[in-house]
Chain A
């Protein structure tokens, strides 16, 4: 039901039951907010969305107030404007004001608000908080001094990711966001997914940067720097910079990194294909063994960490294949078949990824060999864009180059891994190939069109009736597993699990841009890019197939493509 309300003396059509903020924003009226996140229950903590409602004595927070028939609202009266200004001034009263040295300089909601509210001097002085900074995590760096206690990270961590690694500690002006006993994130239940970084309005939560060690590796003479570019990374950069698949975003990124000093640039999609191949083999074995539980994908490091911490009983059902990043590192740093003219200890592998959990993954003990890590550094999209700026490279104005052999080709299956659901299809196609041979037609794999519903597809491959499912966002993942168990389902054989909503397209290393549907735009970009590639299924990546058939012959060599997971005791 719709009705009309008066906003700033002009009529506005609104729907029954929606919040005032929603109605105003839908009609293009700008209302500043800090704590509001669409899709979440309103908290009304920051109070920046206040408006004046005729007949009410106090200002009302529009984010938590439903529209009422006959209401008359003023969104920019002097009283409203000055109240908002005071609120921002109070938020600034204990802010460190070190914008020049802040990671989020120029991309900070508090900075924008201060500018919008025309704040030109410090009006209130209060004691700066003295809570310790937290460097302990492999992926996330916390600086409580810059925190404005908007609650967004706490809510994402609890409601979307179900991890609750951070919470408000203490009270009043001593309040801070921290984990239990004020210990670091490294001993908390944090899964390094980086979703808190994505929603932080200021620089209180940022990456643990790897930029400097990469810079010293590419300028120094001792190391042989190799860049590994993940398909998700390419599509994210292309989407961010507005490139079209026809512009050859792969080639542009390769060329830029070569100019920056990388000796070799290779396609991590190659390893995605290999990962799909390994998971399909594993799945086939489980189908033949009639395993009762569905197999779970292993490519998402944040999901793996969640499983190790919260659902260790599920570890035996997780695919043993290494993730694409680690497979690639393993391939490169190998005396027998990697980069033959360089010793493994001299190779410096840098993974370009959209994931902060990759930073944790690279530091896992299983992912080292003879004391050498398979992957030395991870550069997120944010870090990459900064790196390019500091090197004065404009990707859009560069002659494209091509990936270095023998890791230069990838199929569109690798691009499918960018978004939730794609990997499940890629594994299904690969399984079809395994069972029906080269001549088989592409499998008909149609995702259900049920927004918000379960994502399941059942296909007949050979004599097997195989159920594929995909879930993303840990809260949805956990709910799906609980439902499977409660309903005693046996018709699902493979579940693609991604820790971030929307899959890697919504990853924690993406450019900061809090739009709930941003991952859809990135997915669209990846799907457009798929059309420009020839090899559609992982097994059509002839380069990878030939390489594996030639080099991975013994059982020992086969073993290095797999890894193991173990129960993890954390404060949870």
Chain B
């Protein structure tokens, strides 16, 4: 077993059912996502059926089951963004990246997540890419942002 995982387990010596969600959070913080192996290990440690754990983990949007892309795109789909056309932005994003929300593209460059509200309603619609915000989006401006990331991904990534 991964030594990082063992040290996370060591934080929960009582092996209670209530430890499950905090434990999943810690694993996701450490590794970026919950892999099948991790879920199986958690099940063995807490003596909870992995079917149950998977049920709990899929209930919450926050948990991921695959690695994030190099650039993680969060699309705000709160009420204001929805009114301002977030659905159109989402459709365009999915078309451009050729993935659905919650997935990571094949070469691991982009991953897409839909979140409920980022709290910048005055700037709707907007996306966030690795803590950079792109606001008042139109289909054209979205495309140029994404094109820029796709062409210069190495230099942008190094800068960050």
Contact = CB atoms under 8 A, between A and B. Distances in A.
Interface of A: 158, 164-171, 179-181, 188-189, 571-572
Given A180-B54, A181-B54, A571-B40, A167 B49 contact: yes
B14 to A, nearest CB: 21
11 contacts: A158-B49, A164-B49, A167-B54, A167-B55, A169-B58, A171-B59, A180-B36, A180-B50, A189-B49, A572-B43, A572-B51
Interface string B103-118: 0000000000000000
A435 B86 CA distance: 82
B50 A168 contact: no
Nearest to B44: A572
B39 interface: yes
A180 B59 contact: no
B52 interface: yes
A166 B59 contact: no
B159 to A, nearest CB: 37
A188 B43 CA distance: 14
B27 to A, nearest CB: 16
B150 to A, nearest CB: 30
B99 interface: no
B54 A169 contact: yes
Given A180-B39, A571-B40, A572-B43, A166 B58 contact: no
Contacts of A179: 51, 54
B20 interface: no
A373 B43 CA distance: 36
A165 B54 CA distance: 11
B51 A167 contact: yes
Contact of B59 (A170, A181, A188, A571): A170
Which 10 pairs of residues, A with B, have the shortest CB-CB distance? A164-B49, A167-B55, A180-B54, A167-B51, A180-B50, A180-B51, A170-B58, A171-B59, A169-B58, A179-B51
Interface centre among B36, B40, B58 (most CB of A within 10 A): B58
B53 interface: yes
B52 A164 contact: yes
A572 B58 contact: no
Contacts of A188: 51
Interface of B: 36, 39-40, 43, 49-55, 58-61, 65
B50 A572 contact: yes
Most chain A beta carbons < 10 A, residue from B51, B53, B54, B60? B51
Contacts, number: 44
Given A180-B39, A181-B36, A189 B51 contact: yes
Contacts of B55: 167-169
Contacts of A189: 49, 51
Most buried by B among A166, A171, A180: A180
A127 to B, nearest CB: 15
Most buried by A among B39, B52, B60: B52
Nearest to A571: B50
B82 to A, nearest CB: 16
Given A167-B54, A572-B49, 15 more contacts: A164-B49, A164-B52, A165-B51, A169-B58, A179-B51, A180-B36, A180-B39, A180-B53, A181-B36, A181-B39, A181-B54, A189-B49, A571-B50, A571-B51, A572-B51
A167 B49 CA distance: 10
A397 B77 CA distance: 67
A168 B40 CA distance: 17
A89 B98 CA distance: 36
A179 B50 CA distance: 9
A169 B52 CA distance: 9
Contacts of B51: 164-167, 179-180, 188-189, 571-572
B38 to A, nearest CB: 12
A166 B61 CA distance: 20
Nearest to B36: A181
B76 to A, nearest CB: 19
- Interface centre among B40, B53, B54, B59, by most A CB within 10 Å? B54
B50 to A, nearest CB: 5
B58 A171 contact: yes
A572 B54 CA distance: 11
Contacts of A180: 36, 39, 50-51, 53-54
A170 B98 CA distance: 23
A170 B49 CA distance: 16
B100 to A, nearest CB: 12
A441 to B, nearest CB: 49
Contacts of B59: 168, 170-171
Contacts of A158: 49
A170 B65 CA distance: 12
A171 B60 CA distance: 8
A571 to B, nearest CB: 6
Contacts of B43: 572
Contacts of B49: 158, 164, 167, 189, 572
A188 B40 CA distance: 12
A181 B53 CA distance: 10
A155 to B, nearest CB: 12
Nearest to B60: A171
Contacts of A181: 36, 39, 54, 65
Contacts of A164: 49, 51-52
Contacts of A171: 58-61
B52 A167 contact: yes
Nearest to A164: B49
B135 to A, nearest CB: 28
Nearest to B50: A180
A167 B53 CA distance: 9
